[in-house]
Every structure is written in structure tokens, then in C-alpha cells.
Structure 1
Amino acid sequence: MTRPARPRVVIVGAGFGGLTLARALRRVPVDVTLVDRNNYHLFTPLIYQVSTSLLDPSQVAQSVRKLVRPLKNCDFCLADMTGVNLELRQLETDRGDLPFDYLVLATGSVNNYFGNRSLERRSLALKDLPEALALRNWILEIFERASWAPAEQRQPYLSFAVVGGGPTGVEFAGALSELIRLVLRKDFRQLDLGRARVTLIEGTDRLLSAFHPSLSAAALHSLEKKSVAIRLGVMVEKVETGQLHLSDGSTLQAGTVVWTAGVRAADTGKLLNVPLGRQGRVPVDSHLRLPERPQVFVIGDLAAHEDLPMLAQPAMQEARHVARTIAADLRGTSLEPFRYRDPGIMATIGRNSAVAQIGGVRLSGFLGWTVWLVVHLINIVTFRARLATLLNWAWDYFFLDRPVRILVRANDSPGDS
């Protein structure tokens, strides 16, 4: 007797939302196909540590096939979504079509330059792993160039501007300053790295605007102690080679510009042919479904639901709700609408300093840093990566040494030539 086919759930995106959903469906009587253009899951909260030579890529990125191996009802497809046929219930990809009974879009977000073409062309970003590796290579290369330049021509090489005072910008600026002043000064003894300048630019009147003002002030004070210059209330209007033009009419010398100031939903939403909301997000109902398409769900950064922040926690909570909704649908029952429970937010400013806001509790300094370390270590997806990360953190803390200061560029594969 032929076994009846089980409903097929296709999940697009192997980030926090997609991977959490695949795991949450492990005991639901469905067959799951997880689709992503990359074959790895990226732990994005620590990506800035790849760009500043503290962590190896293997400590923040794990093979998706390895992560779904314990899930007996889940398979992985390396493919890029190119469209969707909602009538035939088929996901279209560059590798072929995939039929589905339930489709979940969890493709995350991309950099948003707000139409500033000069910023897009002349800045480095820090959103995905290739960008983090490119930024690490650039930072190391720029110091090599400075070592060859005459003393009077070195300042542009030693001037860095970080645009965006959110968690990524604050964390990267602090880590970059520590890399320069605690580590690279030992590698480049012929350079006067006391002249190196890291400037953090934020368009609003304070850093970390999602945090309580007291924590924003603590973060600013900590960055200034780490020799990071802060420019508040100004925006970048134009970037030229070696120079930024700011909205207050001033200019800032910077040979390196790093953009961390904005993201928008991935372009996947455009493939649905539905009106999009702010930041290109897809409007969904209270169960995170596409209106009038109850078999199509949208979660994470791509979903326009109550204007939730583009962070890992909303994506993971939404994924668990979708898993419960699919299970309930198969049973013929219903669930309460999705409600987000805020677990708090935190950001590290570097060595011995972080801020954390958990409910009504506000922590800063060394205590906040300790909480940040524990929370992030627990959330790294594999034990091996946790152990390697802990060892790298300990080595850097006690010996002031970053272990991944190597310039590596991949050659084109034969298929690319």
C-alpha cells in the first residue's frame, strides 16, 4: 500500500527565522525543504568580530546541511529564489521549481543606502560574511599601504569613518579602535598609530536610540575612552575619495568609510506582486500570513508586523508561531494571534564594556559586558563554535592579540571564468 504524501513546507532563508522554523517542525507530520542561496547559517551578531580579526568565519557561520542533519523530515537546497507561482503553489528558483503546500519566506534584510549613490559606491558594508571578509582584508591592506607611504602622506590611510550609531556601528567602532591601538601597533612599529582616528557618525542626537538615554550616554562615554570620536546630529551627504561631506556643511577626512546605518527588507517581497510597506517589508495578518493566501507565511525582517525591529529575536519567535500554526492547521484547530515578547537588547562597546536593557533592568560597563558575553556564547549554534569563540575571546583578552590577521582572497572558480 502506497504511503500518502505528507504536506510539504518550503522555507526560503536559512537565517535565524528559517533555521528555527525547520527545527520547530521536526515533530510535525510534514516534509520540510530549506532553501538558501548560501550553504551556511550566519550568526550575524558577531560578524563585526570577523571584520576586526578576532573571529574566524567558521566561528560565526555553520554549514546548513550539518545543522539540519538531525532533522529527519528536513532537506536543504542550495538555490536562489527567482519567483513564486501562488496559483500552482510552486517556488521558482535558479535550480528549478519546488512544489509546496506551505511556503514560508524568511529571507532577511539587505543594506539600505537611502538613495545615496556615493555612499553605496565608496563605502564598505558589514551585513553579510563576504562583506565582513572584504572589510577585514581592506583594514589589514590599508595598514600595509601606510607602512610604505611617506610619513606626511599616511594620515588618510589611518582615518576611518563609521556611519551609523546603532548596535553594529557602536560595536564595530569600538572593536576597530581596539584592534588598532592594542594589536596593530605591535605589528606596525614604524607607524605612529596614536595619529589613527576612528570617527562614529550618527544622524540623530544620541547613539543606540533604541536603548534608554542613560545607556546611550554610557556607550558614548565608553567609546570616547577608547579614542573614538563621535559626531551626533549630522548625516553624510556625499562621499569623495578620502573625504566625507556632512549635512552641517563640514567635511571629514577618511580613507575608509564603513556603512552600518540602515537596512531594508530583501527584494524577495517584490516577487510576490503585493503592495509593500515601509522598508520594503511585506504586510501580513496576525498569524504572519499573506492576506488571502493562508498557505504563505512571511517572517523576520521581511515581515511588516507591528513594526517589529529587524533583529534575530522577532524572527525566531515568529518562526515558532508559524510552526504551531501549521501544526494546528493540520489538526483543524486554530491558535491565538502572534504576540512578540521582548527579551531585551544589548550591545558591546569592546573590552570590559557593554550595555544591556532587559525589561526594567539596565546594565552597563563590566557587568553589562559579562552578560553580553554569556548571552552571545549561549546562542552560538554549535558547541565547537562556542568553544573556539571562547578561546579566541580569552586569548585576545589576556594577550591583546587578534588571531586572524591574514589577508586571504579567493580565486575565481573554473565555472566563473
Structure 2
Amino acid sequence: MKKQILIIGAGFGGVWSALSAARLLDKHNRHDVDITVLAPQAELRIRPRFYEANVHTMTAPLNDLFDAVGVKFVRGSANVIDEKNQQVSYSNTLGQKGQLSYDRLVLAAGSHVTRPAAEGMTKHVFDVDQIEEATRLEDHINSLKDLPASVARNTVVVAGGGLTGIETATEMPARLRAALGNDTDIRVIVVDRSPKIAAAMGKELSPFIAEASEHLGIEWVLNATVASVDANGVTLANGQRIESNTVIWTVGLRASHLTEHVDGTRDHQGRLHVDQHLKVRSQTAVYAAGDVAYASTDAVGNFAVMSCQHAIALGRYAGNNAAADLLGVEPIPYSQPKYVTCVDLGAWGAVFTEGWDRQVKLIKHEAKEFKTQINTVWIYPPAADRASALAAADPLIPVA
């Protein structure tokens, strides 16, 4: 009977886990191991771009790619991971139940934005976390022209001044003017708990974000948190009121709830602690990749963040090592010492940095060209050609 590698998730971590496992099996000419991906859809959703317009186009189909490399796909959502019996229970799109057995499991189920239990947070707030929510936001923005002109109609509030909040906010002036007209008096306001603009992005990068914000007319309300939201605006914890029909939540990422089905240590975001081969600590058959893995990237104390930059590499290593475990060959220790950041800043341009201290290397037009290359080429999966797809899955290929 064939051995089974099961991968939960078809995001960056899941796709590259599948390709990397297939690569190692091909390298050793092994046909006694099956690779199966379980996910709600056979498409890679390009999540880093969900702050942009035309979000419905930001997917990449996977069926042909998986067929080319011999990966099976099961459409469904995992419900329960049974470690003892090495089985995963799932539901398909019709709600029918099924089970998949595994010899090695790669958990790559991703993450999601969590909203606090504040008044109006469920009913009146948008986000750009999943494609369905980003599409709902886009439909809403396009429908604003049908409302009577008002301060609330013309104002967008972005809650959170981290990377997602910054990229969402700096894209908003162009998106609002496209919907309401170039002469409309629009406002984009970032509400952030930090005392300084883009403080979370570091001292090297934050001045450029402040400059871009001023150029684009984006306001920052600092040392502030959202207390409640209603159909016409936001009330802050200090009592300040901002009139707005469009409030976007961008903070609070947490790993998939499926991590709670795996016996192991988790960090404050719910990510499972893994060893140097990305096997979940205390587990013998479970690996983690992407946003569910708390993984050391280097020898100086840095850990992977929830980003496609790290998820792609984590997937390459996790898939390789899960297959290596079954084949009895040496695994490859995960290492990703190079870290870069490229922040899209709308019509102002972008900023590209290197290192965990974010040393600025490119700004404005040059950085924007680089960001466009990342967003439209580099983070997409390879073509459905067996040889090139397997070659691209080598764990030792640098991502950044």
C-alpha cells in the first residue's frame, strides 16, 4: 500500500509543500508515495494583493499544475485532525463528510484576521484578509457613488498602522477617486495605537511612510484605539468620533484553529513551534508550514513572520522534509537568513528594505517597479510544466 503525504491548505505554504514533496519523490524515482492537498478550492489566492482593486482577478488555478507534478487534490475543509489514528476529517462543498489518512501531515492552513468583541465590529467593519471580504469591500467602495454626498461617504478609516494597514490606506485615495470622481473631497484616516506614524515598521522605514502619507493626504490618529463602530462612523476609546461609511480592520492575525488539534506548544498568534526540519515539536508525523509555523529563520534569534516571503520557503522545506522522512533520506534544515520588506505606498511609490532592521535600499519609482514585479510575477506559482515546477521547488533556492 502506498504511503500518504497529506497537506492541509492550498495557500503559499501548502502549494510549495506539495511541489517540494513531489520534487524529492521524483529525484529518488519513487512511486510508492501519494501526495494529496486538501483545501476549499484548487487555486492559490494571492492574498498579499487584496488591498488592491480588481481583487476578483487575484487567484491562480492549481489543477493543471498539480496534475503536471502528480499531486492529488481533494476539495473540502478540514474539521478534525486525529493524531492518534493519523486521519483528517473534512467536509466537502455539499457538507458531506469524509476522511483522509496520512503517514505524514503538513499543516499549512494559514491564518485569519481576528476582530475584537467591540460593538459593531461584525456588522459594520470590512477587511482585506480573505478574497471574499476584500471583494465585499470593493463592491462597497464602488457603490458609494449611489449615496448622497457627505463626510461619512467620502471618508475611509483604516484601523491599524502595520504593513497591511499602510498598504490599504495608501491605495485608498486612488480607489475612492475612481469611485467618486477626481474632484471629490475625500479623507483617508489611519487609526493606530502607536505614538508615531508607522512605528511598527522601524525607524528607517517610518519617515518614508510619513512622507508618502503627507503627499497622499492621509491622516494618522495616533495613541488611539477603536471602541465601537456603527453604520456612520467610528468612536475611539478617548471619545473622539470619526464619521465614515467605510471602516477597514487590518490587525490581529491568528493562525488557523486547526493548530489547536495538534499537541504542541503555540506562540501568542497560535503558531506551532517547530524544529529545524519544520516538524512540530513533540510530534513524529506532523509538519507545519506558512502562517501556522513558529520557525527560527537564522542563528541570531529571528523567526518567520506571517507573510508569503516566509510561507513559500517554509513550504519548500516542509514538503521536502515530510517526504524525506518517509523515504529515509536526510532532511534539509530550514534556514532563511535574508529578510526584505517592500511596502506599496500608492501613487507616491514604494519603499524596499533589507534586513530585520529594514535598511532602506530603494524608494519611490524604483521600489514601485520592484513591488510590481513581486506582486505580479514572483509570488505566483510556476507554470504547469513538470520539470520547471519541480525545479522551482528546491528548498535551497533563495526566496528573497
What TM-score, normalized to structure 2? 0.83
- Aligned letter for 1:366? H
Partner of 2:184: 193
- Aligned letter for 2:47? T
Partner of 1:242: 232
Identity of aligned residues (%): 24
Partner of 1:48: 51
Q: 1:83 is paired with a residue of what secondary structure?
A: strand
Q: Is the 8 A contact 1:215 1:362 kept in 2?
A: no
Kindly tell me the number of residue pairs found equivalent between the two proteins.
362
CA distance in 1, matches of 2:327, 2:77: 32
> Runs of 5+ in structure 1 lacking a partner?
187-191, 385-417
CA distance in 2, matches of 1:17, 1:91: 18
Q: 1:9 is paired with a residue of what secondary structure?
A: strand
Residues 46-105 of structure 1: CA deviation (Å, up to 9, x unaligned): 1111xx3xx3523x1122313323112x11111110112222211111141011111011
> Runs of 5+ in structure 2 lacking a partner?
92-96, 297-302, 384-400
Say whether residues 1:302 and 2:292 are aligned partners: yes
Partner of 1:6: 2
- Aligned letter for 1:354? A
Partner of 1:367: 366
Q: Is the 8 A contact 2:190 2:218 kept in 1?
A: yes
Q: Residues 341-360 of structure 1 correspond to what in structure 2 (within 5 A)? A: 341-359=337-355, 360=359
1:112 to 111, 114, 118: 114
Q: Residues 64-143 of structure 1 correspond to what in structure 2 (within 5 A)? A: 64-72=62-70, 74-94=71-91, 95-143=97-145
Residues 280-320 of structure 1: CA deviation (Å, up to 9, x unaligned): 22232332222332211112111223442111122221122
CA distance in 2, matches of 1:207, 1:96: 49
Q: 2:72 is paired with a residue of what secondary structure?
A: strand
1:271 to 243, 252, 261: 261
Q: CA RMSD in A?
A: 2.3
CA distance in 2, matches of 1:345, 1:210: 13
**Structure with more helix by fraction:** 1
Residues 189-223 of structure 1: CA deviation (Å, up to 9, x unaligned): xxx612x2111112113444453423211112112
Greater RCO, 1 or 2 (C-alpha within 8 Å, sep 6+): 2
CA distance in 1, matches of 2:178, 2:250: 23
Q: 1:279 is paired with a residue of what secondary structure?
A: coil
Residues 337-396 of structure 1: CA deviation (Å, up to 9, x unaligned): 423333301111112411111234532222221221222232252689xxxxxxxxxxxx
Displacement of 1:273 after TM fit? 5.3
Q: 2:36 is paired with a residue of what secondary structure?
A: strand
Distance 1:326 1:273, change over 3 A: closer
1:259 to 245, 249, 260: 249
CA distance in 2, matches of 1:117, 1:265: 24
CA distance in 1, matches of 2:338, 2:246: 36
Q: 1:290 is paired with a residue of what secondary structure?
A: coil
CA distance in 2, matches of 1:204, 1:216: 12
Partner of 2:398: none
Partner of 1:409: none
Say whether residues 1:285 and 2:285 are aligned partners: no
Mean CA deviation greater in 155-164 or 298-307 = 298-307
Q: Is the 8 A contact 2:104 2:285 kept in 1?
A: yes
Distance 1:274 1:174, change over 3 A: same
